Amino acid sequence: MTLAEILAGVIVTALNAYVLLAGADFGGGVWDLLARGPRARAQRDLVTHAIGPVWEANHVWLILALVLLFTCFPPVFAQLSIRLHIPFSLALIGIVLRGSAFAFRSYGGQRDQVQRWWGGLFAMASLVTPLLLGMAVGAVAAGDVGHAASDGFVTTYVTPWLSPFAISVGVFALVCFAFLAAVYLTLETTDRALQDDFRRRGLIAGVAVMIAGVVALALSREVTPSLQEGLLGAPWSLPLHFLTGAAAVTALVALWRRRWRWARIAAAGEVSLILWGWVLGQYPYLIPPDFTIDGSAAPLLTLGLAFGAVVLGGVVLFPSLYYLFHVFKGRASEV
Amino acid sequence: MGVSLGFHIIFALVGMGMPVLMVLAERRWLATGDEIYFELAQRWGKGTAILFAVGAVSGTVLSFELGLLWPGFMRLAGAVIGMPFSLEGFAFFTEAIFLGIYLYGWGRISRRAHVFAGFAVAVSGALSGIFVVIANAWMNTPTGLEVVNGTITHVDPIAAMANPAAFAQTLHMLLAAYAATGLAVAGIHAYLLLRDPSNAFHRRALAIALLVGGPAAVLQPISGDIAARQVARYQPAKLAAMEAVFETERGAPLVLGGWPDLDAHTTRYAIRIPFGLSLLAYHDPRAEVRGLAAIPRDDWPNVPAVHWSFQLMVALGTYMALVALWAGWVAKKRGRREGGRVLAGNRWLMKALVVATPMGFIATEAGWMTTELGRQPWVIYGILRTKDAVTPMPGLVVPFVSFTLLYCFLGVMVAWLLYRHIVRSPTVPEELWRVVRTGEWSRGAGGAGDA
């Protein structure tokens, strides 16, 4: 295993953390949007309460993945930035609006109308941003952005991320996030009725994850034979898919039987396995078909230093993170 | 990008400065048991939260935009200068974690742990600022690489971080953060003290804000001098544009104001101080200063813009330093305990502070314009031209306009929220406060004793 591969692994790990943590924060926004019934207000409050202390720290995983990407694999960063300029810019607007709307709602006074306005903006941005990020991932996986620019504005900058496959990946990402959020939220309250609200939502979202996954896989057959091959043909693929499926079923069963902690572990495992499945499926490419891990890595000295920074940063980061979650998430009570 | 940076820079400044205020207030509260400090720490904490949230997301925009707008820069420079950005990522992460703990941790963790969290926010905030400015300094004085036929070889990220401009620029920026935030907060409370001179809340707020902003403002001209001499040595074109010097000469005068006439190679209507520039830039009245005429016209920055930004920054910085000295002198005269009262009673000083409120931010923006515009047409000085770094995507005016609008909207909202939270003051006159404190009122401050 080369140093470049290790660092690529670190980047994917940061992405994984982003998906599990910030993804759930986005999902929380979706449930804010879909809050219904007599406990709509309580549902919204639960979401706000759950993500308040942690969303900024969760969000930084993306920044970390990004800075490591441009330190260790500058050409990849440049290529992605050029070809996916539009979805990234839109996602950025979404990120900005979501974060600020959340802060403004928390500090903007209790008047109902103000609350509703910011809440709506927060929820909409939470819905659109994962969709766009997922579409960008879809475009990468499809190998549509990994070669030199073709002619024409639309084919270069627009079509790749608006293909049916890319859209299906966007939807897949969104339902995964909503699923994670619903499962986590069962652990954020001791109110039985609220827990049941999110149990029901989690079950629906869990099934939706499976459906969206199958649709994306089916669509990938046409656009990305190489990814399909990677996903289905490699020696590790069968065990991986088996594990993913097992995690998915476990999550649903645990939700059904109100074993919230088990459901959380299984759901997080399921989504992580899906992410790693994609990454392994396109190994050794960072962006197929032209950018491989070793081919686009920075000089060895830079990689070594970046690795040192990761280790050093980790020494500071992990105890701090542990403390954060210990303080705010450690006391969530079990039923 | 310029707009994003210009927007973000303000939040970055406040993000470095506010935590210091907030921690100081909390420490005062723990030391004195005076509830007003508790109130202050909470209010400033909320202010920090709002600004940090916006700063965090606008910072995300920036890290994306590096690539979205300047892929050519990133492809060339990522391996060399990604390092400080990676470190910044970690520092920022730490800041976000501890800010979460600080804001939501009131009453959930021990007081010591809480102050420590605030302290960690202040330190990591300063560190992330330092790392980013190091990267910018590298763009001004690139080291740690060699360019052979358009490709970069001999990449050495450590040497890149230790570039000649790094020290001067980071020092200048750090002081700017403390001076701008401290004096801005002081200015706001000075304004409120003008209307309600006996308000104990604003008096204490003013004292802490001046404690942070004052020394920084006084030290800033010194760090500016270090920075200017460094520019003189490594970036002659920038210095020439800053000072609007056209002809190379020994014993160059200092040019104040004026209209640089690019074709006639002269600056009209300016005040000239003989030998001033040579003295300032090289600490030697006979030193030779290179003029713009010695530099190919293609490599000139926008001379009037750089000249005026620079002059504006210096003028505002000078004013801030003088006001800070004045305040320090007034407070010193009466000793520490009476300082707050005397300060608040000096209406002329209060007015001068109110005038200084926005100055630190304007000066920082002007200084940033000076260093960025002064480097043009290069994005990496002497290595990569800006036009070669920009993305090939057409229609860039669309993201430019939309992000500008977005930022205007956010700016207005933030201002309104801060007004709600920080400025709207509890009305506590000092006399009444004494009564309250000697009485039985104790809202769980916890008998830490009297001041």
- pLDDT tens figures, A29-43: 888 888 777 777 778
Mutation target vs A (from B60, B61, B380; most A CBs, 10 A cutoff): B60
Mutation target vs B (from A96, A303, A310; most B CBs, 10 A cutoff): A96
Instruction: Please give the Cα distance from B378 to B237 (Å, whole number).
Output: 11
Check whether B71 has a pLDDT greater than 80: no
pLDDT band at B445 (very low <50, low <70, confident <90, very high): very low
Across B54-79, average pLDDT: 73
Q: Which domain holds residue B384?
A: 2-226+304-438
Mutation target vs B (from A63, A290, A321, A329; most B CBs, 10 A cutoff): A63
pLDDT of B451 reads 28
pLDDT of B1 reads 53
**Which amino acid, one-letter code, is at A260?**
W
* Nearest chain A residue (CA) to B117: A320
Question: Which of A70, A81, A96 is facing B82, going by the closest CB pair?
Answer: A70
Interface residue B413 vs chain A (CB under 8 A)? yes
Question: Which of A92, A104, A310 is facing B60, going by the closest CB pair?
Answer: A92
ipTM associated with this complex? 0.75
pLDDT of B227 reads 81
Report residue A319 CA to chain centroid gap.
23
Across B212-241, average pLDDT: 81
Question: Which of B74, B87, B94 is facing A78, going by the closest CB pair?
Answer: B74
Check whether B10 has a pLDDT greater than 80: no
pLDDT of B63 reads 72
pLDDT band at A8 (very low <50, low <70, confident <90, very high): confident
Strand ranges inside B159-198, DSSP E: none
Extract the tokens encoding B381.
């000085």
Q: Which residues of B touch A64 (CB under 8 A)?
A: 89-90, 93
Q: Distance (Å) from the C-alpha of residue A317 to the closest C-alpha of chain B?
A: 6
Across B413-429, average pLDDT: 64
Strand ranges inside B326-393, DSSP E: 378-380, 384-385
Residue B274 placed within a domain = no
pLDDT of A150 reads 63
Check whether A247 has a pLDDT greater than 50: yes
Across B36-64, average pLDDT: 77
Residue B198 placed within a domain = yes
Check whether A180 has a pLDDT greater than 80: yes
Helices (H), B70-153: 71-104, 111-140
Across A193-221, average pLDDT: 81
pLDDT of B328 reads 82
Please, are residues B173 and B125 in contact by the beta-carbon 8 Å criterion? no
Across B33-55, average pLDDT: 78
pLDDT of A331 reads 55
Question: Which of B53, B74, B420 is facing A74, going by the closest CB pair?
Answer: B74
pLDDT band at A335 (very low <50, low <70, confident <90, very high): very low
In order of A72, A236, B67, B109, B308, the CA distances from A230 in angstroms are 25, 9, 29, 49, 59
Query: How many other β-carbons are positioned within 10 Å of the β-carbon of residue B383?
Result: 16
Across A290-303, average pLDDT: 73
pLDDT band at B448 (very low <50, low <70, confident <90, very high): very low
Across B261-282, average pLDDT: 77
Interface residue B415 vs chain A (CB under 8 A)? no
pLDDT of A146 reads 65
Across A142-157, average pLDDT: 68
**Which amino acid, one-letter code, is at B183?**
L
- DSSP code string of B399-416: HHHHHHHHHHHHHHHHHH
Instruction: Please give the Cα distance from B163 to B186 (Å, whole number).
Output: 35
Mean pLDDT over each residue of chain B, to the nearest integer: 75
**Which amino acid, one-letter code, is at A160?**
P
Instruction: Please give the Cα distance from B407 to B403 (Å, whole number).
Output: 6
Interface residue B158 vs chain A (CB under 8 A)? yes
Which of A271-285, A313-327, B228-242, B333-347 shows the lowest mean pLDDT across its residues? B333-347
Check whether A57 has a pLDDT greater than 80: no
Interface residue B418 vs chain A (CB under 8 A)? no
| Cβ partners under 8 Å of residue B416, min gap 6 | none
Please, are residues B38 and B26 in contact by the beta-carbon 8 Å criterion? yes
Question: Which of B56, B68, B101 is facing A323, going by the closest CB pair?
Answer: B101
**Which amino acid, one-letter code, is at B425?**
S
Extract the tokens encoding B276.
């001033």
Question: Which of A64, A306, A324 is facing B100, going by the closest CB pair?
Answer: A324
Residue B203 placed within a domain = yes
| pLDDT digit string, tens, across residues B102-151 | 888 777 788 888 888 888 888 888 888 888 888 887 787 777 777 776 66
Instruction: Please give the Cα distance from A22 to B262 (Å, whole number).
Output: 53
Residue B117 placed within a domain = yes
pLDDT band at B425 (very low <50, low <70, confident <90, very high): low
| pLDDT digit string, tens, across residues B161-204 | 777 777 888 888 888 888 888 888 888 888 888 887 777 778 88
**Helix B359-375 and helix B166-195, axial crossing angle in degrees, nearest 10:** 150
Strand ranges inside B259-409, DSSP E: 259-261, 266-268, 271-273, 288-289, 378-380, 384-385
Instruction: Please give the Cα distance from A40 to A58 (Å, whole number).
Output: 25
**Which amino acid, one-letter code, is at B83?**
M
| Cβ partners under 8 Å of residue B410, min gap 6 | A96, A100, B7, B54, B58
pLDDT of B42 reads 79
Burial of B146 from C-beta contacts in 10 A (0-12 / 13-18 / 19+): exposed
**Structural domain boundaries in chain A:** 3-221+301-329
Interface residue B79 vs chain A (CB under 8 A)? yes
Residue B450 placed within a domain = no
Which of A266-270, A310-314, B75-79 shows the lowest mean pLDDT across its residues? B75-79
Inspect the interface and report whether the beta carbons of B406 and A107 lie closer than 8 Å: no
User: Between residues B236 and B10, which one has the greater pLDDT?
Assistant: B236
Going by DSSP bridges, is the β-strand pair B254-256/B259-261 parallel, antiparallel, or unpaired? Answer: unpaired
Residue B141 placed within a domain = yes
Residue B222 placed within a domain = yes
Beta bridge partners of A144: none
Please, are residues A149 and A182 in contact by the beta-carbon 8 Å criterion? no
Interchain CB contacts (distance < 8 Å): A and B: 211
Which of A121-125, A236-240, B97-101, B316-320 shows the lowest mean pLDDT across its residues? A236-240
Count how many domains chain B has.
1
pLDDT of B361 reads 83
Strand ranges inside B191-296, DSSP E: 249-250, 254-256, 259-261, 266-268, 271-273, 288-289
pLDDT band at B441 (very low <50, low <70, confident <90, very high): very low
Check whether B320 has a pLDDT greater than 80: yes
Inspect the interface and report whether the beta carbons of B83 and A301 lie closer than 8 Å: no
